[in-house]
Structure 1
């Protein structure tokens, strides 16, 4: 599985966890059809483990918004990208930002990519 598809899988799991109190491991198994993918597992478990710190960092870079007002697509993609930028040192920052924007074009609305780009650009300074 390539990393783009891995990010999309992580997005789907984390997005669903935001709505329901699913077991993360069960959600990973369901989305991956019992395959194991270290990258996907790292993204999901890392975002879950560091969510409080990640959310705090996102909140610090939102202007006229609060995290609880964000659509779940944007919130989930910001969490994944923030984890990749600050915790997953193998991913270049520009790649993490670009991937979040590209996935936002698939799952979000026409403004999702711009919004995510703006927040992550502030965060990256």
Structure 2
């Protein structure tokens, strides 16, 4: 499975986990029958580090609270921040670009600009 597809499926699985009382394995099983290690890592890692990710995001959000964000943007940000802080498999530019492309598909026209603004703070030194 290509990584873009895995990221999209991770978005869908995490979205389900936020809305239903199901296990990670059930959520992944609802979005694909494939067994993809990268997808599994994204979903499990994002869920396992959710508190730390949310705290990190809250520090980067200006004039926004995490709870006010639309679910798509919040979920895309969580997955991307997991990749940036914990996975370290893909370069930051790739992670951010993938997040923006997914926002363009699942969010509205402002989603990708907003997500880009937040994620770019992770690359500033």
TM-score band, normalised by shorter chain: over 0.9
1:24-103 to structure 2, matched below 5 A, reads 24-33=24-33, 35-103=34-102
Q: Show CA shifts across 1:2-21 (max 9, x none).
A: 00000000010011211222
Q: Is 1:17 the counterpart of 2:17 in the alignment? A: yes
Listed as ranges, the gaps of 5+ residues in structure 2 are none
Distance in 1 (CA, whole Å) between partners of 2:28 and 2:3 is 15
Contact 1:73/1:108 (<8 A) preserved: yes
Task: Find the residue that maps to 2:121 and give its secondary structure.
Answer: helix
Contact 1:18 / 1:72 at 8 angstroms: preserved in 2? Answer: no
User: How far apart are the structure 1 equivalents of 2:110 and 2:95?
Assistant: 18
How far residue 124 of structure 1 moved from its aligned partner, in angstroms, is: 2.0
Q: C-alpha distance in 2, partners of 1:28/1:18?
A: 13
- For 1:111, the equivalent position in structure 2 comes to 110
Are the equivalent residues in 2 in contact too, given 1:85–1:96 (CA < 8 A)?
yes
Q: Which residues of structure 1 form unaligned runs of 5+?
A: none
